[in-house]
């Protein structure tokens, strides 16, 4: 039989997962209505914009997803004219990804939509101090997940 602590952790896990899904879906809906891109597109484009000499690997690493999945996402963004690939002079096996001017414009418009939606769904619900504390707690949890099993987790 599971302990109360295990039941509490299971409920917490469920709440975290449901929050992420509901928040993602709400922001994604707004993005698809207004600038016409998905939340996944927005995530990828943000990383491309802020990462010098960005490669598919860099995006996959930052999003904690597979290189194959990101490669397909970049292909879709390239077909829509939001990103362009160019040869990587340091590694012929990879390409460098850059936002196009259309991509930069779409990202700017999408950023405003995301900011508005996050303010509505997070900023209007929690105080600035609570948001800071929540951000710190999430960072600690993510850091703990990066440790190998059995490592000191204090």
Give tens-digit pLDDT for 75-115. 999 999 999 999 999 888 889 999 999 999 999 999 999 99
Backbone angles phi, psi at 15, to 5 degrees: -65, -40
Q: What's the whole-model pTM score? A: 0.83
Q: Which residues pair with 83 in a beta bridge?
A: 99
Domains of the chain: 12-143 (1.10.10.10)
Phi, psi angle pair for 99, to nearest 5°:
-70, 140
The answer to whether the beta carbons of residues 107 and 34 sit under 8 Å apart is no
Question: Vertex 67, ends 62 and 72: CA angle to 5°?
Answer: 110
């Amino acid at each position: 039989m599971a302990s109360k602590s295990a039941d509490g952790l299971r409920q917490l896990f469920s709440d975290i997962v449901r929050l992420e899904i509901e928040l993602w879906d709400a922001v994604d809906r707004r993005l698809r209505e207004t600038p016409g891109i998905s939340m996944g597109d927005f995530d990828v484009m943000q990383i491309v914009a802020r990462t010098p000499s960005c490669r598919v690997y860099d995006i996959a690493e930052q999003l904690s997803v597979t290189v194959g999945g990101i490669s397909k996402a970049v292909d879709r963004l390239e077909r829509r004219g939001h990103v362009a690939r160019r040869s990587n002079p340091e590694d012929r096996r990879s390409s460098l990804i850059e936002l196009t001017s259309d991509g930069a414009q779409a990202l700017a418009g999408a950023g405003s939509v995301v900011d508005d939606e996050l303010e509505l769904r997070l900023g209007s619900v929690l105080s600035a101090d609570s948001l800071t504390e929540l951000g710190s707690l999430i960072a600690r949890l993510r850091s703990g997940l990066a440790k190998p099993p059995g490592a000191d987790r204090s």
